Structure 1
Amino acid sequence: MLIIPAENRPDWKKPPLITILLIVINVLVFFVYQGKDPKKLEQSYQWYGESGLVQREYEPFRDYLRRTNPVLLQQLDAEDEEGAPAASALGAQFTHSANDKDFIQALHKELDGDPQWRADRARFEQLINSLSDRAYAFNAKEARWDTWFTSMFLHGSVMHLLGNMVFLFIFGFALEAAIGSGVYLLLYLCSGLGGTLLYWASELGKDSSALGASGAISGLMGMYIALYGLRKINFFYNVIFFSGHVRAPALIVFPVWVGYELLGSWNGGDGVAHWAHTGGMLFGFVLLAIWLRFGLKYDRNYVEKIDPDAPFKSAHARIQELMVAMKPDEARQKAMDLVKAMPQDARAWRTLYGVVKISPASREYHQIVHSLFKQAGNAARDSDMHGLMREVAHDYVQIGGETPALTENVSLMLAQRLGRVEHIKPLAAVVERLLQRHCKHEAMPRILQAASILSAKANLGHQAQHFRAQLEARFPDSQEARQLAAHPAA
């Protein structure tokens, strides 16, 4: 049975960095760290034979099977060839010697008196215990504190890893976008711990181990349901031979997921830690539900698929319609209303400017350009607004005639924002405006110096000399004038 949400798509303009990081960590752990396991296992098998452990433990192994599993002993005896153990017998002895703790305890009790065996056995156990599942998987009997975390990043096979990473991405990118990276990562880890806790409770005292990110990922499934609640969302399902899409309240799917895991735990025998899945799912659901109840801020627009740009898009479309219908006055009023509603948005100002620039001789045109320049001056870190300001500055100085929008304060601001060679034309016009006004502002020497240098770079020698002369004449004692005097070629 497969039921997964099909409600959202990743926004690669805002990539799910934590989800991607978790996937990368899991993949690296599997292929870089766990990828060494086959070689370690081969070394331990080779040592088991070369050290003589296989011969010394042969009779204790047979005695152990007589007591605990006579059927297996009969099968192995039937496969013996001329008294030498067959490959299956060697494999069975090696497996028990490496993993059967009751047999290992019996070996130590019987053979500890042999120093050579103790030394060889210690080396063998060191090799076996270096395997990833022995070192860092969660064992219900030992319950080492570090393995509560490390087991979340181990996997038993490529398919185990692949399946988990697909589900991690499907649920992870949406949750990270909705609740934020920090809360998402915290609840992911807490869900993994919750899954391990329920697995431990279900296997208490047993020598059984679990590994994998499934508990934490099941927590993401529970969190997803808690986030969407009774909202209807799209699900993809595949049950036996039936598959398709269905739109239903998210909460309806939660008991289906939990019931499926409980059924799996009841049947057992499939090698899946269903209790870890159940625990993770329940923890994830409860933790996020409580957090939301106590006021966790989440992206409601993302969850409810509200387009934050809808007001702008609607107003912009209406303004375009009015312009096409040759109703510029109504369009201008609508554009001014849009700017009042969104004064910080460069798109709103661009829309208004697009309406008024068709009448550059009108009083409204100059008023709006002046207001736009002032707004851009106040938006110190808005690159979109600054880009629009430079575009309008280029247009404005080309219309000729009076430029009432270039008040002293606006001209000072523009002169300090147009400090690049490609903006030399509007810069020169603004600086001339300031000179005409006999501006004495403390920034003027710096502005004149910049205008002179940029004019020279633009191969406008006469203009460069003009601004230099103005600097030396009006501000002869300024540092900038002294610098130009010290470098005549500047």
Structure 2
Amino acid sequence: MIIVPTEKRLEWRNTPFVLIAILILNLLVFLLYQSGDGEKGEAAVTGFAESQYIDSEWPIYKRYLELEGRDDDLNALQQAYQAGDPYSIAQEMLMDHSYYRHISNKAPFAFEPDLYQRWQAERQQFQATFDSISSFAYGLRAAEVSFVTLISHQFLHGGFEHIFGNMLFLLLFGFAVEAAIGHLRFLLFYLVGGACAGLTQVLFTLGSDTPLIGASGAISAVMAMYLAIFRLKKIEFFYWVLFFVGYFRAPALLILPLYIGKEVYQYLSIDGSNVAYMAHAGGFVAGALLIGLAMLFSRNVVNEAYVEQDQGPSQRNKGLAEVYRLIEALRFDEAIKQLAALVESVGNDFQLARVRYNLEKIKRGEQFIPSFCALMTQKNLSAAQISDLNQVWQEEVSPQELLPEQDQLELAFRFTTLKDLKGAAAIADHLFAQSFKPNEVLLLSQRLATRYAELRDKNNAMKYQQYAQQLTKDGHNGVM
């Protein structure tokens, strides 16, 4: 379910300079700085795993986990140790800063002098390399809070889907808030809201070494400010619930129960989630308090003229509303023509491509395959949209016959980011059987083997590892 406000549109006369700067800074940090995290992590984990120090540390780490009462972690790592998988153990050891402090105190007495001297120098180097990963270097950890990390964690993200989703929601709510309260106040409230969100998470995870990263807390503060500014004013919303999409007008505060309900539902229903729900709550409360106190002490905080200005529905929204009206009237041919004209006028995007595919699927005429290809090759998608593509792919009859194999390969790599790997696996099987671009299929097979191993699906992990081994034997080499 998606419900977002579409009342206000970006305007040059209300250019959100601060919002644009925040978006650019987040993207630059992600693309230029965080892009090196994988190489750092691989160097540290591989170096440590192949150093033979795992066997020396294992008895101490095992006892440490027992004393900490971390039975689940101990059982999982014991299985890895027995299976001869030092990489998983090395990663867990490097991530556990409390353990590193523990082993640093124990090692002088537990190791022989010669071993200890070698271990001390190399282990410190492995740990320093691992700690230079962005989330550990500048993420917010409850065990070590600083002013720098209270700010810096807001500009780090865990992956493309993470930053894309955050920046999308920041854009949806942020430009209207900045136009309503001014540039400097927006910047101050954004950073303070994000810092308060981080402190809230710290209070609920005291002593934890797990780093908090992401702009979600600050964006929750922006959402709260948006609701406080527009309150009971009726604004335009876009909704997408299953197969039903459209627009309606309602008080802005409608978002509040939906937002709270979503957060509570996900918190109670998703086990093992790494989403910082307490940070979301802390940011939301902080944003509400900041804007509330500002409005209490000054009547001129909010640009009421901008808030009350009626911009009317956008060309895209009006066109899409007409498409839905024709669909509801079962006038599908007219809806397709209207949609084609809308795409030509405003450009294509995931939502328009999805509607076009649904319409063409009814007729399955000559435009069905182009509509399917246009949907499957959409770029810059969120995790939810990629999951939707995965479902469409699995439900379609013989999808491999509809989409060029190069596009299938790119789509499969997208699908490997999901928990449901059936779509990616089906594409990999097809491309392997067709001997399509073996070097790239080798990378896909290795990726699937890794993902299935992470999901503890040994049979499929072994299957795609065998694919990779076969391709390697045939003279193809992948680059990870």
With normalisation by structure 1, the TM-score equals 0.56
Q: CA deviation at 1:112?
A: 2.6
Matches within 5 A, 1:179-258: 179-240=181-242, 242-258=244-260
Write the deviation string for residues 37-60 of structure 1: whole angstroms up to 9, x where unpaired: 111112213432465434533454
**2-side partners of 1:66 and 1:287: how far apart?**
45
Distance 2:81 2:310 in 1: 72
CA–CA distance in 1 between the matches of 2:255 and 2:78? Answer: 50
Pick from 274, 278, 287 the counterpart of residue 275 of structure 1.
278
Partner of 1:298: 302
Provide the rounded CA distance (Å) in 2 between the counterparts of 1:92 and 1:12: 51
User: Counterpart of 2:147 in 1: which secondary structure?
Assistant: coil
Match of 1:95 among 86, 91, 99: 91
Residue among 136, 139, 144 paired with 1:137: 139
Structure 1 residues 48 and 302: CA distance shift in structure 2, 3 A: same
Q: Is the 8 A contact 1:65 1:73 kept in 2?
A: no
SS of 2:12's equivalent in the other structure is: coil
Contact 2:200 2:282 in 1 (8 A): yes
- Measure the CA separation in 1 of the matches of 2:216 and 2:178: 18
Counterparts of 2:118 and 2:81 in 1: how far apart (Å)?
28
Distance 1:36 1:232 in 2: 46
**Separation in 1, partners of 2:253, 2:169:** 19
Contact 2:219/2:283 (<8 A) preserved: yes
User: Take 1:48 and 1:145, find their aligned partners in 2: how far apart are those partners?
Assistant: 32
Displacement of 1:92 in angstroms is: 2.1
Which residue pairs with 1:23 in the alignment? 23
- For the 8 Å contact 1:66–1:73, the answer to whether it is kept is no
Is 1:53 the equivalent of 2:57?
Answer: no
Q: Give the CA deviation at 1:235.
A: 1.4
1:168 pairs with 164, 167, 170, which one? Answer: 170
Name the residue aligned to 2:11: 11
* Residue identity in the other structure for 2:26: N
Equivalence for 2:41: 41
- Aligned partners of 2:86 and 2:13: how far apart in 1? 57
Partners of 2:150 and 2:65 in 1: CA distance: 34
Superimposed CA distance per residue, residues 252-290 of structure 1 (whole angstroms, 9 cap, x where no aligned partner): 322331343234334453221111111111211221122
Structure 2 CA distance, aligned partners of 1:162 and 1:73? 33
Residues 37-95 of structure 1 deviation map (CA, whole Å, 9 limit, x = unaligned): 1111122134324654345334544565677546335533653xxxxx2xxx2122212
Structure 1, unpaired ranges of 5+: 80-84, 308-490
Q: 1:252 to 1:138 in 2, by over 3 A?
A: same
Question: CA 1:228–1:59 in 2, change beyond 3 Å: closer, same or farther?
Answer: same
**Equivalent residues in 2 for 1:310-325, closer than 5 Å:** none
User: In 2 relative to 1, CA 197–125 (structure 1 residues): closer, same or farther, beyond 3 Å?
Assistant: same
1:221, distance to aligned residue in structure 2 (A): 0.7
CA distance in 2, matches of 1:283, 1:65: 37
The alpha-carbon distance between structure 1 residues 76 and 65, as it changes in their structure 2 partners (threshold 3 A), is farther
Query: 2:263 aligned to 261, 264, 275, which one?
Result: 261
CA gap of 1:226–1:118, structure 2 versus 1, over 3 A, is: same
Given that 1:195 and 1:277 are in contact with CA atoms closer than 8 Å, whether structure 2 keeps it comes out as: yes
Structure 2 contact 222–287 (Cα < 8 Å) conserved: yes
**Runs (5+) with no aligned partner, structure 2:** 110-115, 312-480
Could you tell me the percent identity over the aligned residues? 36
Task: Please state how far the C-alpha of 1:18 moved relative to its aligned partner.
Answer: 0.9
Give per-residue Cα distances to partners, 1:298-349, cap 9 Å, x unaligned.
3322211168xxxxxxxxxxxxxxxxxxxxxxxxxxxxxxxxxxxxxxxxxx
Q: Which amino acid aligns with 2:308?
A: E
User: Shift of the alpha carbon at 1:226?
Assistant: 0.5
Report which stretch shifted further, 278-287 or 28-37.
278-287
| Residue 117 of structure 2 corresponds to residue 104 of structure 1 | no
Cα distance in structure 1, aligned partners of 2:191 and 2:62: 45
Q: What CA distance in whole angstroms lies between the structure 1 residues aligned with 2:184 and 2:81? A: 59
**8 Å contact 2:232–2:251 — kept in the other structure?**
yes
**Are the structure 2 counterparts of residues 178 and 239 from structure 1 closer, same or farther at C-alpha, using a change threshold of 3 Å?**
same
CA deviations over 1:441-468 (Å, ceiling 9, x no partner): xxxxxxxxxxxxxxxxxxxxxxxxxxxx
Q: TM-score, normalised by structure 2?
A: 0.57
Q: 1:289 maps to which residue?
A: 292
Maintained 8 Å contact 2:294/2:301:
no
Deviation at 1:20, TM superposition (A): 0.7
Relative to structure 1, is the Cα distance of residues 31 and 288 closer, same or farther in structure 2, using a 3 angstrom cutoff? same
Amino acid at match of 2:90: F
In structure 2, relative to structure 1, the CA distance for the partners of 1:235 and 1:200 (3 Å cut) is: same
CA distance in 1, matches of 2:250, 2:227: 12
